[in-house]
Structure 1
C-alpha cells in the first residue's frame, strides 16, 4: 500500500491507520496523491471534538477534502471531476487559509475574475463554493458561509443550437464504424454520454429489445435505472457487436489506448471524447454541436409528435418535469395560435396592405428628387 498508479484511473493513495483503511483515487500525479494522503493523515490524527463542543473554524483545505469525499460518494463521476477542477483553483489561492479567513470580499474578487471567462463560469464557482461552505455548516465544522451574500452574475440566455436529423446523419456518416455505432446508440436512446460509456452487456436485453441505463442525477447519489426500448436500428447494431463477446471487456463500447505515463497499452471504457464531435462536424460541413444536442434533438422530435411530456421525462431520466421542458425547443401550436389571434385582433395584415397601396414606387429620376423638395422644373 501507499501511493501507486492504477491503469486508466491515475494515482491512488491507500493506507491503514488505527486498524481502518483509507483510500482515494483519480489523482493525476503522484505528488498530488502524496499531498492528499498527508492531508488525510493529518485530518485523522487531529483531536476528536468532544460532544457538546461547537467548532467555529477549520482549515479551508480540510473542508474542501471533506466535500470532495462526499461528492465522490454521492454524485456522478463527471460531477466529481468538475468539482476537483474547481477545488484545484481554490487550493492555489486559499490553500493555506482557514475558513474564517476567507471573507465575502475575497470571494467577490475571485468571482469577478472568473466572470472574465464567462458569467456562466463565475456562477458555477459561486454554486460550488456555496455548496462547500454549506456542507461544513451542516456537518458542524464551521458556522458561517461567506458566499451567502453574493449574487449570481447575469447571464445572456441563448437558445441552444439543436441540429436537424439530416445534419446528425451527415456527421455520423463521417465517423468510422465503431464511432457510428456509438453515436447511433446515443441518438436512439437519448442517453447521457456517461450512461452510454458505462453501458455493459448485462444491461442489454436483445430478446426484450430493451437497454437499461443508469444515472446518478437524482438526489442522494443512488444509481437509478431506467429501461429504454430499442429501435430496430439499435437491435441490429447491438446484435452485431454482441457476437463473440470478450468476458474481460464487459462494456458495449471500449477502446485500447497508449498511456504515456504508464508506457503501456490499456483497454477500458470511454471516458472523455470532447474533440470528437467538433472534428466530425467540421468534416460534414455543418454547424458544430455536441453529444448532448443528440439528446435535445430526440426530445424535441418526440414533442413534435405529441408524445406526452411524462413519457419524454421517463425516457430522458429526468426527476423534475421542468428539466424536461427545457429540452423541448419546438414551437407548439399554442404559440402559433396565439400570434395568429394577435394579428387578427390588431388587423395587422389589412393595415400592412393598405400602407403598401398608399406608398408610391421609388425612382431615381431628377424630376422626382427635385419634387421631393417642393421644386417644379418647367421645360423652357
Structure 2
C-alpha cells in the first residue's frame, strides 16, 4: 500500500544519511500526492483510505502532474515527479513492484521566473550594511562560490592553514552521498587571512568557524542572523533584496565575465558533479579550483 511504501522509502532515505531537509521535502511530496490520489480514487470508491502502488497508472500520474503544474509551478511539479519516481524505483529494486509510471511522463520545461543576480554595487552596499561577522560570512561566499549554508556548516577541522585549503562538503548527490570539494586558499590570500583572523579572534572554543553566541555551537539554517542576514542588510542599504543563494550565481557570473576561468574551472569550484555535454566537447582539459580561487582572491570587490 502507498502509505507503507512511503514509510519504508523514507526510512531508507534516513538510513542513507540524507539531510533532514531532503527527507522532509520527500515526505511533503509523497503526502501531497497521497491526498490528491485518494480524492481521485474516492470518486469511484468512496470507502478508499489507501491505495496500491500498482494502482497508480500512467493516466493518474499524468493528471497529478498537470494538476501540480497548474496549482503550483512547473518547476515544483517536476520536483514532485523526481521524488515520486525515486520512491517507485526503490520498490522496484526491492522487487515489490514491476513498473514505474513516472519516467514515462512528458514533462514540461515551463516558463520559470528569471534568476535575479544582483549588480556589484548592490552587493557592496549590502556587505557594508551587514554586521562584522556577517561580512566575514559573505566574504567567504564571495571567495569560494559556496552554497548559502557552506560557511554556516564549516568546521575548523575542514580548514587546513598549513596546506592552504578548506573543504566544503555536500550531500547534493544521488542517494545523498557525502562528498567534499577542496578550495584553494594559499597563505597570503584573502580567504586564508580572513579565516586566520576569525581563528585568532574567536572568544570561545568551538568546532564551528561561525559560532552562535546564543547556543554556543554552530548556527542553524533558521537562525535569525543567518536566515534574514541579507534581508536586513539590503533594507538598510536601500537596494533590491537578494539572498545568500543569489551570491553563488553572482560569483559564477563574475568568474565567467573575467574570461580567465574555463567553464570547467567554474564548475569545479562550485562543486558541480559533471560538466554538460557541450562543456565536454568544448573543454579538452579538466579545470580545478586553483584558477577560479585565484581570480576570486584578486577580486577586490569588498
TM-score range, shorter chain: 0.7 to 0.9
SS at match of 1:211: strand
TM-score by length of 2: 0.74
- What SS does the corresponding residue of 1:64 show, helix, strand or coil? helix
SS at 2:212's partner residue? strand
Matched, 1:89 2:32: yes
Asked if the contact 1:313/1:324 (under 8 Å) is kept, the reply is no
Q: Does 1:304 align with 2:254?
A: no
User: 1:266 and 1:84 mapped to 2: Cα distance?
Assistant: 31
The worse-fitting range, judged by mean Cα deviation, of 236-245 and 121-130 is 236-245
Change (3 A) 1:101 1:218: closer
The residue number in structure 1 matching 2:231 is 278
Unaligned runs of 5+ in 1: 1-58, 258-264, 326-380
Whether the 8 Å contact between 2:75 and 2:112 is mirrored in structure 1 is: no
RMSD: 2.8
Does residue 234 in structure 1 map to residue 184 in structure 2?
no
Higher helix share: 2
Q: 1:166 aligns with which of 97, 121, 125?
A: 121
Alignment match, 1:137: 92
Contact 1:228 1:315 in 2 (8 A): yes
> Equivalents in 2 of 1:211, 1:161: separation in Å?
29
Distance in 1 separating the partners of 2:216 and 2:271: 32
Q: CA deviation at 1:180?
A: 1.7
CA distance in structure 2 between the partners assigned to 1:229 and 1:133 by the alignment = 41
TM superposition shift of 1:155? 0.9
> Considering only CA atoms, is the larger Rg found in Structure 1 or Structure 2?
1
Contact 1:253 1:270 in 2 (8 A): no
In the TM superposition, residue 200 of structure 1 has moved relative to its aligned partner by: 0.2
Aligned counterparts of 2:248 and 2:184: Cα–Cα separation in 1: 15
Q: Which residue of 33, 36, 61 maps to 1:107?
A: 61
Secondary structure (helix, strand or coil) at the match of 1:162 reads coil
Q: Separation in 2 of the partners of 1:295 and 1:266?
A: 28
**How much has 1:98 moved relative to structure 2?**
2.2
SS of residue matched to 2:101: coil
Give how far 1:201 is off: 0.6
Answer 1 or 2: which has greater strand percent: 1
Q: What residue number does 1:190 align with?
A: 145
